[in-house]
């Protein structure tokens, strides 16, 4: 496994793999502090592609001024050891200056899809995400890029960007990996103390309650949202940022969950830590997550 810090080196390696060796490249972008959620993406990339490239880059452009960019967990030594165990071929771990050199002034804005949910709670977040993913995709030029359903809106935004800008790359979206407690794995779980970790299980519990109600015939979006809100409200350490139901593909607001798949998503503060989670309801449930 080679660890690459320079974009020029990464580009020339990728070019050689594609052109001279005709090998397919699978790419998994991450911010490091790796867990089984990331590793599930890498596992799939390994199964589908000849060569696996994983990027580890905490992207300043996607953090707001009062967010946790500085505190975000970083441990490239541990991450590299894990990635070597998972037979990753290349780790791309650039510095901030390598991605955003002096004079950097080009950004990617994906409209409409980014107005709501994470986009409205975290202004500028998706501009940072779309920009860095566009840069990374151009450097690595993979055949396949792998993303998690954990960040459902992010996956939708990236698919839109790749389609709109004509990137010749297939986006693969994979299911959320959870702890036994139901808590979705996240690098930010590292911020939680014991009590908060227990409290954080309320996100998935609330989603499961709504899913059970949906399965029993409750298709009214406001009532499903109310089930989620009242469940989270019972947890004293939790404070809701948003709970929403949207069309799972277009993110349009919906009043009823009917024929089309619906994304039930929420963001909740547990103490100072902001966590997100989601579930897909509706008939097309099984298709969401698969590449369109
Ligand atoms: P991050 O390092 O948080 O930027 O995440 C990198 C990729 O891993 C993103 O595509 C995430 O959606 C995905 N990911 C993060 N947590 C999980 C999880 N629990 N299950 C599946 N994928 C995940």
- Identify each DSSP E strand in 78-192 by its residue range: 90-92, 144-148, 170-174
CB 199 within 8 A of CB 172: no
Decide: 156 and 113 in contact? Cβ < 8 Å.
yes
For the chain, the distance separating the N- and C-terminal CA atoms, rounded to the nearest angstrom, is 32
Q: Which residues contact 69 (CB under 8 A, 6 or more apart)?
A: 58, 60, 63
DSSP letter (8 states) at residue 197: H
> What pLDDT does residue 199 have?
98
Take atom 17 of ligand 1 and give the residue whose Cα is closest.
37
- Distance from the alpha carbon of residue 13 to the mean position of ligand 1, in angstroms: 25
What pLDDT score was predicted for residue 20?
86
**Residues within a 6 A CB radius of ligand 1:** 30-31, 37-38, 40-41, 147-148, 150-151, 176-177, 184-187
Smallest Cα–Cα separation from 275: which of 179, 194, 191, 212?
191
Strands (E), 67-149: 90-92, 144-148
**Residue (of 244, 282, 287, 286) closest to 265 by Cα position:** 244
Residue 148 CA to ligand 1 center (angstroms) comes to: 5
Q: Please state the φ and ψ torsions of residue 281, each to the nearest 5 degrees.
A: -115, 155
Nearest CA to ligand 1 atom 14: 148
pLDDT value for 292: 39
Nearest one of 200, 175, 210 to 36, comparing CA atoms:
175
**What is the per-residue pLDDT for 282?**
87
Atom of ligand 1 nearest to the CA of 184: 19
Look at residue 284 in the predicted model and tell me its pLDDT: 54
pLDDT (tens, 9 = 90+) of the chain, 292 residues, equals: 999 999 999 999 999 999 988 999 999 999 999 999 999 999 999 999 999 999 999 999 999 999 999 999 999 999 999 999 999 999 999 999 999 999 999 999 999 999 999 999 999 999 999 999 999 999 999 999 999 999 999 999 999 999 999 999 999 999 999 999 999 999 999 999 999 999 999 999 999 999 999 999 999 999 999 999 999 999 999 999 999 999 999 999 999 999 899 999 999 999 999 999 999 998 655 544 444 3
DSSP letter at 93 equals -
C-alpha to C-alpha distances, 178 to 43, 134, 153, 156, 193, nearest whole angstrom: 16, 28, 18, 21, 18
């Amino acid at each position: 496994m080679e660890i690459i810090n320079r974009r020029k080196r990464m580009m020339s390696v990728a070019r050689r793999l594609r052109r001279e060796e005709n090998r397919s490249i699978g790419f998994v972008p991450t911010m490091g502090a790796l867990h089984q959620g990331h590793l599930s993406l890498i596992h799939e990339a390994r199964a589908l592609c000849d060569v696996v490239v994983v990027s580890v880059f905490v992207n300043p452009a996607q953090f707001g001024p009062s967010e946790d960019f500085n505190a975000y967990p970083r441990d490239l030594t541990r991450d590299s050891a894990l990635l070597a165990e998972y037979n990753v071929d290349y780790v791309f771990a650039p510095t901030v200056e390598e991605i955003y050199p002096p004079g950097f002034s080009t950004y990617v804005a994906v409209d409409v899809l980014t107005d709501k949910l994470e986009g409205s709670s975290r202004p500028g977040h998706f501009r940072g995400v779309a920009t860095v993913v566009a840069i990374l995709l151009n450097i690595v030029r993979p055949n396949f890029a792998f993303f998690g359903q954990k960040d459902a809106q992010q996956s939708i935004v990236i698919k839109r960007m790749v389609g709109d800008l004509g990137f010749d790359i297939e986006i693969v979206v994979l299911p959320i990996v959870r702890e036994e407690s139901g808590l979705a794995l996240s690098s930010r779980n590292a911020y939680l103390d014991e009590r908060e970790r227990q409290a954080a299980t309320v996100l998935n519990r609330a989603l499961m309650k709504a899913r059970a109600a949906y399965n029993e015939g409750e298709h009214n979006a406001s009532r499903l949202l109310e089930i989620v809100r009242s469940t989270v409200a019972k947890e004293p350490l939790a404070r809701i940022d948003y709970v929403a139901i949207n069309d799972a593909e277009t993110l349009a607001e919906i009043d009823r969950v009917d024929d089309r798949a619906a994304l039930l998503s929420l963001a909740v503060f547990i103490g100072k830590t902001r966590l997100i989670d989601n579930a897909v309801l509706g008939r097309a449930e099984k298709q969401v997550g698969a590449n369109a």
